[in-house]
């Protein structure tokens, strides 16, 4: 399209003869194509004229050659801009400066390529103006490729994942937003909605389009417009109540240009509180300060319409780059020449091409420009391999009421930082996300707390939550007849979690299914993907295939596929009598028999003749006595008070244990156990018998895809009654050998029926979760809420309310002996018995030691001081053991006799 337009325009012109300069020219024409009545063009025109005046006033720059400006107005139109470029080239311009519009730059670049005229733009930031397509195009500003990378880092810094782009629908707008989308994708974010404004859109059109964007959900806006019309967007947003603390607004560097050049900046800031935007950073220097003073003087004299902005500095340095490049060219070739283009000669007769010539030294001048490396008032002027100005720094600005504050900087080297990057011009790869930081930011509405950046729903547009309309297992989710309300286990979990979400989400339940058969859960998930509903709530299993389509919350219940079948009576083995107690229980019980026998022997040895005699007889007596108490057939009586207390507690413990043992053994011998020929999923698959599954469950796809079960073996069952009927019939009578289903359904079924049970263990691990559209922030918040419900115990209370109405007996296959009596059931009784036994031993020991001390004193008094002074510790110990072995009656007789030195020893 551009080529046809140019050919039509070229046909209006006539041919001139070849011009050859044999010596250094006195003047060199430089073309300038600008939209002169725009903010950027108005500033750039004056800056360019000042630069030309400075260069021409300095004879050392071009050594006597003068720069001559040829100014043309593009009026921000590709058509008029192309005509302006041809007019400039008709006057033998060796280079074109401008335009500031990316759209116009696209058109003129075709002319520059054809006639080999370098084109330098200080404002065309469109990243698609590449050196591959336009080798003669040089950019003396930052490409939007880097600005959008900075914007993506800024958005990622605040952890927003979805944004809305507002832009003018031309090449500059579309290509800039395309770069933003690419940059956000690297941060796992995206542009979810694009508000493309027509060129020169009125406030009514802008208002209509912004209103439409409010129903999308995200409240993070990126505005990529022009300085001349962009402020109207914020004015309309203010009227639409979109500059409140619910919204977030970012803007590219057009806004800084508009504010820097505004005559009354305070009036513009009224609608911009909380907006964050960029400005190309120009480091402070003496030359910059001097240029600002000169500009202010021109402004005071009325020679300048706008205040100075960044593009003024860039335009000034662009002219100097052109002058230095021309000087290098003239130093080498000493002349400037043009010649006819062969391509134009070929079409001369048809289109009557005019006075356009190819610049013979265009390639050489281009090479000289690319080698430039000097410091201007805007900083370092040097081109990279893509023929863009080497990457610089963006300043991050924030509007705080009527003040513009700097909150940080961005560069490709250091990322976001509160300090000016020390290494500005670096090609090092950016790996700085962990170190990003900014100063304090004021958000729209004057708040300092970061907005949520997303509105899920409103009362006018509620959040649509789909749920399965079940015909079986309705305890999980069901509609209340005659109302629009929904109840059930999954519903209560969803509502409880939503209450913990730190913001209001108006929602509406949407039933899915005909109510006559269980719906397909895959179809329900696909409705979320297709945006028919916003989320899916219910007993939805989290599977690999589904996680590729939607985002699931944290599982709120653990599930897994299990095998359920009909049960039969077990065969009684010869060792069944050992099964009521666990091994640990048998060991502890045996230890207590030995301990009790030993304690009774100690307590009765001194007072009971049945526990005296030879050592072998005493050991047998204590052991037999303890074990005979189990049947109350002991021949020995206890006569001591501590011994009787110990025996009383011991008899009580034996009564409880024997009663429990009898009941458990009876259960083992009479109650039906899970002893089906099917022992688990492996034996079920190998049996080649029919397998039942719940209609709509993912168990069907798992059995066929993962376990390679043939579809002909699978029988669809739609209700609990169908479960019972199929299992009762069995595989030989048209039923099934077993049913494969998720554990919560199976537990619910077993709690209401008898004669069925789980065999084997769960052969998958999974859970149920709520499904949301990809990257919906509510999915994360709901996951956090579910964890809080679990930690507080509320999740278990909801489970017990709906799924344990008739109790929740354990039917799991991982406990092969659910009727075993464990030590935990009796540890309290064993503890009481042990404490009383220990207390009796302690009392006996204290009493015996006291008697021995008194006995020793009496004996020492009778023998005299000489008899006791030489006794060793071992002698005392043997004396104590001998004393303990004496009868209690003999000791009492000793203490009752009068003291006498000749008193004989008691035996």
Rounded to whole angstroms, the Cα distance separating 65 from 67 reads 7
pLDDT at 867 over 50: no
Same structural domain for residues 226 and 363? no
pLDDT digits (tens, 9 = 90+) for 48-66: 999 999 999 998 888 889 9
Last residue of a domain, one of 710, 741, 764: 764
Same structural domain for residues 602 and 646? yes
Q: What is the CATH number of the domain that holds 222?
A: 3.40.50.2300
* 362 vs 320, higher pLDDT: 320
Same structural domain for residues 227 and 357? no
pLDDT at 349 over 50: no
For 662-686, b/e burial (b = at least 16 CB within 10 A) is eebbeebeeeebbebebebbebbbe
Most confident option among 238-242, 471-475, 574-578 = 238-242
pLDDT at 213 over 80: yes
Rounded to whole angstroms, the Cα distance separating 734 from 744 reads 26
pLDDT of residue 679: 82
Residue 581 lies in a domain: yes
pLDDT digits (tens, 9 = 90+) for 527-557: 999 999 999 999 999 998 999 999 999 999 9
Q: What angle do CA 170, 172, 174 make, to 5 degrees?
A: 65
**What stretches of 473-582 show up as alpha helix (H) in DSSP?**
489-500, 521-529, 544-547
Same structural domain for residues 149 and 258? yes
The end-to-end CA distance of the chain, in Å, is 133
pLDDT at 740 over 70: yes
- Measuring CA to CA, how many Å separate 120 from each of 34, 318, 469, 545, 891? 12, 7, 66, 53, 124
Helix (H, G, I), strand (E, B) or coil at 894: helix
Helices and strands in the chain, H and E counts: 32, 32
pLDDT of residue 321: 95
Question: Which residues have CB under 8 Å from 224's CB, separation 6+?
Answer: 165, 166, 167, 168, 172, 173, 176, 177, 180, 251, 252, 254
Question: Which residues have CB under 8 Å from 248's CB, separation 6+?
Answer: 158, 160, 219, 220, 221, 274, 443, 444, 451, 453
pLDDT of residue 735: 93
- Measuring CA to CA, how many Å separate 398 from each of 16, 269, 403, 529? 56, 11, 8, 37
Q: Worst-scoring range by mean pLDDT, 241-245, 376-380, 429-433, 527-531?
A: 429-433
Same structural domain for residues 492 and 626? no
pLDDT of residue 463: 92
pLDDT at 14 over 80: no
pLDDT tier, 846 (very low <50, low <70, confident <90, very high otherwise): confident
Strands 561-566 and 738-742: antiparallel
Helix (H, G, I), strand (E, B) or coil at 276: strand
pLDDT at 355 over 70: no
- Under DSSP, the state recorded for 533 is S
Residue 663 lies in a domain: yes
Contact 442, 270 (CB under 8 A): no
Q: Worst-scoring range by mean pLDDT, 248-262, 314-328, 745-759?
A: 745-759
Same structural domain for residues 608 and 742? no
Tokens of 705: 């895809």
pLDDT at 619 over 80: no
Q: Which domain holds residue 239?
A: 144-284+392-426
Same structural domain for residues 213 and 241? yes
Residue 845 lies in a domain: no
pLDDT digits (tens, 9 = 90+) for 811-823: 444 444 555 566 6
Residue 6 lies in a domain: no
Contact 165, 180 (CB under 8 A): yes
pLDDT tier, 672 (very low <50, low <70, confident <90, very high otherwise): very low
pLDDT of residue 59: 87
For 85-123, b/e burial (b = at least 16 CB within 10 A) is bbbbbbebbbbbbbbbbbbbbbbbbbbbbbbbbbbbbbb
pLDDT of residue 863: 62
Contact 101, 39 (CB under 8 A): no
Helix (H, G, I), strand (E, B) or coil at 488: coil
Same structural domain for residues 408 and 348? no
Same structural domain for residues 242 and 155? yes
Residue 817 lies in a domain: no
pLDDT of residue 6: 41
Q: What is the CATH number of the domain that holds 731?
A: 3.40.190
pLDDT at 668 over 80: no
pLDDT tier, 271 (very low <50, low <70, confident <90, very high otherwise): confident
Rounded to whole angstroms, the Cα distance separating 906 from 891 reads 8
pLDDT at 17 over 60: no
Q: What is the mean pLDDT of residues 725-741?
A: 92
Same structural domain for residues 118 and 31? yes
pLDDT of residue 442: 94
pLDDT tier, 15 (very low <50, low <70, confident <90, very high otherwise): very low
Q: Worst-scoring range by mean pLDDT, 534-543, 714-723, 748-757?
A: 748-757
Q: Worst-scoring range by mean pLDDT, 119-133, 180-194, 286-300, 644-658?
A: 644-658
pLDDT digits (tens, 9 = 90+) for 119-137: 999 999 999 998 888 999 9
pLDDT of residue 182: 95
* Nearest of 614, 634, 876 to residue 605 by alpha carbon: 614
Angle, helices 39-56 vs 310-333, to 10°: value is: 40
Q: What is the mean pLDDT of residues 654-658?
A: 79
Question: Which residues have CB under 8 Å from 774's CB, separation 6+?
Answer: 550, 551
- Residue 99: asked if its preceding bond is cis (omega within 30°), the reply is yes
pLDDT of residue 344: 58
Contact 262, 268 (CB under 8 A): yes
pLDDT of residue 481: 80
Q: What is the mean pLDDT of residues 776-800?
A: 92
Residue where the block lists tokens 């508009």? 258
Same structural domain for residues 504 and 604? no
Q: What is the mean pLDDT of residues 758-773?
A: 90
Rg of the chain on CA atoms, in Å: 47
* 763 vs 808, higher pLDDT: 763
pLDDT over 90 percentage in the chain:
41
pLDDT of residue 674: 46
Beta-bridge partner residues of 766: 559
Residue 360 lies in a domain: yes
Tokens of 189: 């974010």
Contact 566, 730 (CB under 8 A): yes
Same structural domain for residues 275 and 194? yes
pLDDT at 857 over 50: yes
pLDDT of residue 570: 53
Last residue of a domain, one of 322, 349, 382: 382
pLDDT of residue 631: 64
Most confident option among 419-433, 841-855, 862-876 = 841-855
- The strand order across the sheet containing 535-536 reads 507-512, 463-468, 535-536, 771-772, 551-552
Residue 319 lies in a domain: yes
pLDDT of residue 9: 39
Rounded to whole angstroms, the Cα distance separating 600 from 611 reads 9
* Count of domains observed in the chain: 5
pLDDT of residue 13: 37
Residue 897 lies in a domain: no
Q: What is the CATH number of the domain that holds 490?
A: 3.40.190.10
Q: Worst-scoring range by mean pLDDT, 164-173, 177-186, 336-345, 399-408?
A: 336-345
Whole-model pTM: value is: 0.65
């Amino acid at each position: 399209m551009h080529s046809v337009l140019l050919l039509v325009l070229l046909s209006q012109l006539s041919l001139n003869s070849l011009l050859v300069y044999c010596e250094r020219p006195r003047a060199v024409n430089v073309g300038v194509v600008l939209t002169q009545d725009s903010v950027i063009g108005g500033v750039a025109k004056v800056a360019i004229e000042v630069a030309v005046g400075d260069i021409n006033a300095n004879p050392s720059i071009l050594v006597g050659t003068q720069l001559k400006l040829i100014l043309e107005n593009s009026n921000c139109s590709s058509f008029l801009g192309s005509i302006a470029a041809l007019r400039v080239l008709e006057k033998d311009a060796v280079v074109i400066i401008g335009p500031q519009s990316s759209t116009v730059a696209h058109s003129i670049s075709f002319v520059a390529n054809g006639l080999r005229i370098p084109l330098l733009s200080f404002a065309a930031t469109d990243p698609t103006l590449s050196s591959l397509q336009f080798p003669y195009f040089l950019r003396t500003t930052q490409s939007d490729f880097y600005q959008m990378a900075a914007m993506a880092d800024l958005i990622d810094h605040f952890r927003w994942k979805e944004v809305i782009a507002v832009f003018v629908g031309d090449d500059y707008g579309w290509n800039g937003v395309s770069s933003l989308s690419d940059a956000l994708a690297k941060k796992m974010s995206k542009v979810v909605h694009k508000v493309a404004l027509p060129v020169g859109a009125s406030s009514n059109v802008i208002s209509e389009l912004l209103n439409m964007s409010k129903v999308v959900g995200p409240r993070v806006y990126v505005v990529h417009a022009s300085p001349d019309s962009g402020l109207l967007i914020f004015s309309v947003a203010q009227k639409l109540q979109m500059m409140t603390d619910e919204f977030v607004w970012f803007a590219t560097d057009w806004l800084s240009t508009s504010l820097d050049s505004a005559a009354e900046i305070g009036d513009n800031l009224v609608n911009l509180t909380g907006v964050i935007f960029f400005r190309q950073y120009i480091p402070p220097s003496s030359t910059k300060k001097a240029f600002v003073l000169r500009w202010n003087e021109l402004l005071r004299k009325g020679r300048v319409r706008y205040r100075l902005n960044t593009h003024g500095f860039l335009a000034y340095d662009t002219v100097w780059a052109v002058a230095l490049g021309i000087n290098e060219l003239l130093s080498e070739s000493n002349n400037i020449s043009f010649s006819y283009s062969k391509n134009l000669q070929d079409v001369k007769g048809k289109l009557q091409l005019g006075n356009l010539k190819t610049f013979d030294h265009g390639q050489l001048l281009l090479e000289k420009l690319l080698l430039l490396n000097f410091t201007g008032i805007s900083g370092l002027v040097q081109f990279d391999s893509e023929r863009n100005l080497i990457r610089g720094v963006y300043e991050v600005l924030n509007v705080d009421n009527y003040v513009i504050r700097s909150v940080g900087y961005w560069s490709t080297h250091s990322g976001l930082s509160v300090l000016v990057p020390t290494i500005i011009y670096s090609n090092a790869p950016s790996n700085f996300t962990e170190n990003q930081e900014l100063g304090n930011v004021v958000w729209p509405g004057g708040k300092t707390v970061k907005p949520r950046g997303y509105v899920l729903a409103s009362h006018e547009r509620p959040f649509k939550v789909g749920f399965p309309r079940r015909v079986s297992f309705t305890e999980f989710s069901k509609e209340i007849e005659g109302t629009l309300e929904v109840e059930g286990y999954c519903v209560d979990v969803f509502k409880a979690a939503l209450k913990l979400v730190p913001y209001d989400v108006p929602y509406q339940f949407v039933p899915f299914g005909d109510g006559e058969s269980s719906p397909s859960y895959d179809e329900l998930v696909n409705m979320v993907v297709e945006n028919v509903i916003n989320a899916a709530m219910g007993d939805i299993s989290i599977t690999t295939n589904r996680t590729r389509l939607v985002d699931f919350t944290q599982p709120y219940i653990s599930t897994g596929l299990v095998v359920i079948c009909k049960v039969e009576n077990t065969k009684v083995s010869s060792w069944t009598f050992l099964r009521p107690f666990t091994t640990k229980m048998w060991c502890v019980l045996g230890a207590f028999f030995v301990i009790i026998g030993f304690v009774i022997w100690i307590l009765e040895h001194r007072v009971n003749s049945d526990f005296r005699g030879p050592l072998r007889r005493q050991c047998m007596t204590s052991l037999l006595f303890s074990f005979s108490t189990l049947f109350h057939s002991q021949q020995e009586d206890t006569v001591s008070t501590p011994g009787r207390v110990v025996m009383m507690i011991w008899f009580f413990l034996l009564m409880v244990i024997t009663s429990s043992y009898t009941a458990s053994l009876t259960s083992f011998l009479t109650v039906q156990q899970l002893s089906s020929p099917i022992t688990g999923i492996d034996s079920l698959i190998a049996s080649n018998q029919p397998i039942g599954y719940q209609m709509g469950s993912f168990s069907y796809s798992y059995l066929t895809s993962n376990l390679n079960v043939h579809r002909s073996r699978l029988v669809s069952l739609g209700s609990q009654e169908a479960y019972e009927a199929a299992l009762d019939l069995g595989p030989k009578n048209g039923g099934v050998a077993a049913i494969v289903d998720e554990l919560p359904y199976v537990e619910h079924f077993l709690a209401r029926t008898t004669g069925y049970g789980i065999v084997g263990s769960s052969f998958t691990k999974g859970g149920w979760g709520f499904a949301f559209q990809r990257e919906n922030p509510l999915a994360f918040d709901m996951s956090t809420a579910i964890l809080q419900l679990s930690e507080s115990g509320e999740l278990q209370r909801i489970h017990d309310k709906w799924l344990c109405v008739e109790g929740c007996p354990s039917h799991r296959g991982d406990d092969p002996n659910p009727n075993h009596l464990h030590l935990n059931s009796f540890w309290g009784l064993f503890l009481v018995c042990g404490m009383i036994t220990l207390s009796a031993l302690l009392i006996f020991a204290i009493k015996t030691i006291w008697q021995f001390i008194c006995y020793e004193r009496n004996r020492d008094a009778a023998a005299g001081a000489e008899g006791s002074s030489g006794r060793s510790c071992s002698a005392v110990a043997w004396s104590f053991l001998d004393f303990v072995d004496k009868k209690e009656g003999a000791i009492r007789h000793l203490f009752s006799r009068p003291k006498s030195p000749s008193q004989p020893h008691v035996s």
